Amino acid sequence: MLRGIRGATTVESNNSEEILRVTEALIADMAKQNDVSPEQISSVIVSMTHDLNATFPAKAIRSIDGWKYVPVMCTQEIPVPGSMEKCIRIMMNVETMKRQDEVEHIYHERARQLRPDLTN
């Protein structure tokens, strides 16, 4: 079964090193909490808010050992007035036998506010 795993995090500034660090931490946590290996991943879509442009967050994902061939695409989040700033969101599409209610969606930093109903 193909399932989507959501994740989001925030950074303090539009800084390449920080964007790469938090992106790698988020994707690693998403994979770990859902027991997902790179071979199970169909694709990863990463979006960033309009105030982040220092680097492509996909660079962090592709640098993880074993993730070189995982298809990753970056895009810009819709700039809705009043929405969370400096936010990185991830949609990881995976093959899993988990039911939708068993999937662990991961939210770090200020992004926990986005889905408090899914945050432990």
User: Annotated catalytic, 87?
Assistant: no
Place of tokens 């290996």: 37
Pairing status of strand 2-10 against strand 72-76: unpaired
- Catalytic-role residue among 12, 39, 95, 115: 115
- Catalytic-role residue among 24, 39, 102, 107: 107
Structure tokens at 68: 């070189």
User: Annotated catalytic, 3?
Assistant: no
Cα three-residue angle 98-99-104, rounded to 5 degrees: 70
- Catalytic-role residue among 21, 62, 110, 112: 62
User: Annotated catalytic, 89?
Assistant: yes
φ/ψ of 66, rounded to 5, equals: 90, -5
- Catalytic-role residue among 74, 104, 109, 112: 74
- Catalytic-role residue among 6, 21, 110, 112: 6
Catalytic positions, please?
A: 6, 62, 74, 77, 89, 107, 115
